[in-house]
């Protein structure tokens, strides 16, 4: 994407990106009775109505991402900075000004698109989104990838089974994602009908969990 943007962003991010922690998290099934009511992304990231976290995995069990160890003693962004596959995502978070907004205890779940996922977007899309005048739109897209609570694959699969093959999850952006399964793989369908596959699941963090995905999800 945009190596110059990434290079300029990572220095500042390595100090402040212990941040992506303020989002609260609420998982919804098709009933969605506990949806958050605040209008702003920051308000929707309050720690209300979070799901219980599953037991922490041992450090040895945490997957490597982007050629780097993901330490469960670090938060989501602190780990993401070290992944060579997520430099675009990290730079976008910086451009959106979400570092300070997302500081907090969590827990929360992030579906993290890889650089290759961003590269699937039409040429010039990311360069346009990171412009200051498009900050609100970029923020909406990024927070659409954040779901309340620590939702590991077992939790998601259980919700899918309970929903007869589908489960709906409320995002911090306010929209919903629909989860289903293709064999053993979790598939997410966004508001526009696009789909993303979870390629690396259950990357445990100090304040939640990351699931690596192969496509950028888009809200309405």
In this model, does residue 68 exceed pLDDT 90? yes
The Cα 174–Cα 189 span in angstroms is 15
The model's pTM is: 0.73
Q: Looking at the predicted structure, is the pLDDT value of residue 54 above 70? A: no
Is the pLDDT at 25 greater than 60, yes or no? no
All structural domains of the chain: 3-213 (2.30.180.10)
**Non-local CB neighbours of 44 within 8 Å, separated by 6+ positions:** 23, 24, 36, 38, 143, 172, 173, 174
What pLDDT, on a 0 to 100 scale, did the predictor assign at position 102? Answer: 60
β-strand pairing of 185-189 with 176-182 = antiparallel
- What tokens appear for 182 in the block? 């293709």
Res 196: pLDDT = 98
């Amino acid at each position: 994407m945009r190596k110059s943007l990434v290079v300029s962003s990572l220095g500042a991010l390595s100090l402040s990106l212990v941040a992506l922690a303020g989002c609260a998290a609420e998982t919804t099934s098709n009933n969605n009775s506990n949806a958050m009511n605040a209008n702003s992304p920051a308000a929707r990231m309050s720690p209300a109505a979070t799901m219980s976290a599953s037991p922490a995995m041992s450090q040895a069990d945490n997957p490597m991402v982007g050629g780097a160890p993901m330490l469960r003693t670090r938060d989501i962004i602190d780990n993401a900075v070290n992944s060579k596959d997520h430099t675009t995502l990290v730079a976008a978070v910086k451009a959106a000004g979400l570092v300070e907004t997302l500081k907090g205890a969590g827990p929360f779940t992030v579906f993290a698109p890889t650089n290759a996922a961003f590269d699937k977007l039409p040429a010039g899309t990311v360069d346009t989104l990171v412009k200051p005048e498009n900050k609100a739109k970029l923020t909406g897209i990024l927070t659409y990838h954040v779901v309340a609570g620590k939702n590991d694959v077992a939790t998601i699969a259980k919700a899918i089974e309970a929903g007869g093959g589908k489960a709906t999850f409320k995002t911090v952006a306010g929209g919903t994602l629909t989860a289903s399964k293709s064999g053993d793989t979790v598939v997410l369908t966004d508001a526009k009908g696009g789909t993303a596959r979870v390629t690396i699941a259950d990357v445990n963090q100090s304040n939640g969990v990351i699931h690596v995905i192969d496509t950028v999800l888009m809200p309405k």
